[in-house]
Amino acid sequence: MRNAGIAVIWLAAAVAGGQDQPVYKSKEEELPQRVAPQPVPFSHKVHAEAGSACKDCHTTAATKERAGLPQADRCMLCHRTVKADSPAVQELAKYQREGKRIAWVRVYRVPEFVFFSHANHGKAGEACETCHGPVATRDEVAKEVSTTMTSCMNCHAAREVSNDCHFCHSLGY
């Protein structure tokens, strides 16, 4: 799969070669894209109103490639006491007790042959909302902002960041 992806990129790179502005335009995504219900109900709106900051739960969103998704241990820091008798919270407590991972249904994903890291985007001052929409006002997260190649490139062009193919795609060297 990975090799096939790289071969396609080489081919497209050869076609695009020598031009300053990429001529390729991705097919537009239909947004918002909803995902299947989460294994444990979770509302960003409720938690933002309770005063939680994004980085309280997505602990590596500013420092690492991946933002990270919290597991029951982190939730239970509060829920040992907050709403401890709610059925949803009791289910959460069960995950923790049994040491089971919560298999959160993913919303944003780029293919494996694309390199994306949160660290440098955060350092450059890009806000979560620019790429993920007004998450703090949502009970359910749906994909609201496009992650096609053209949408990445449009921002890079606007910020005068490189749009060389190898910036986002490993060409195998």
Q: Which residues, 105 to 164, sit near ligand HEC by CB under 6 A?
A: 106-111, 114-118, 120-122, 124, 126, 128, 130-132, 135-136, 141, 147-149, 152-153, 155-156, 159, 161, 163
Tell whether residue 93 is a contact of ligand HEC (CB under 6 A).
no
Distance from C-alpha of 52 to C-alpha of 54, rounded to nearest angstrom: 7
- Of 54-73, binders to ligand HEC (CB under 6 A) are 54, 56-58, 61-62, 66-70
Please report where in the chains the tokens 């609201």 appear, as a residue. Answer: 144
Contact yes or no for 73/97 (Cβ under 8 A): no
Element (H, E) at 90: helix 87-98
Tell whether residue 95 is a contact of ligand HEC (CB under 6 A).
no
Collapsed DSSP state (helix, strand, coil) of residue 87: helix
The only residue of 83, 97, 100, 101 in contact with ligand HEC, by rule CB under 6 A: 83
Distance from C-alpha of 146 to C-alpha of 103, rounded to nearest angstrom: 23
User: Which CB atom, from 101 or from 167, has the smaller least distance to ligand HEC?
Assistant: 167
The only residue of 47, 93, 144, 170 in contact with ligand HEC, by rule CB under 6 A: 47
The only residue of 22, 32, 96, 144 in contact with ligand HEC, by rule CB under 6 A: 22
Instruction: Report how many residues bind ligand HEC under the rule CB under 6 A.
Output: 77
Contact yes or no for 72/92 (Cβ under 8 A): yes
The only residue of 7, 31, 50, 157 in contact with ligand HEC, by rule CB under 6 A: 50
- Nearest Cα to 75, choosing from 24, 38, 22? 38
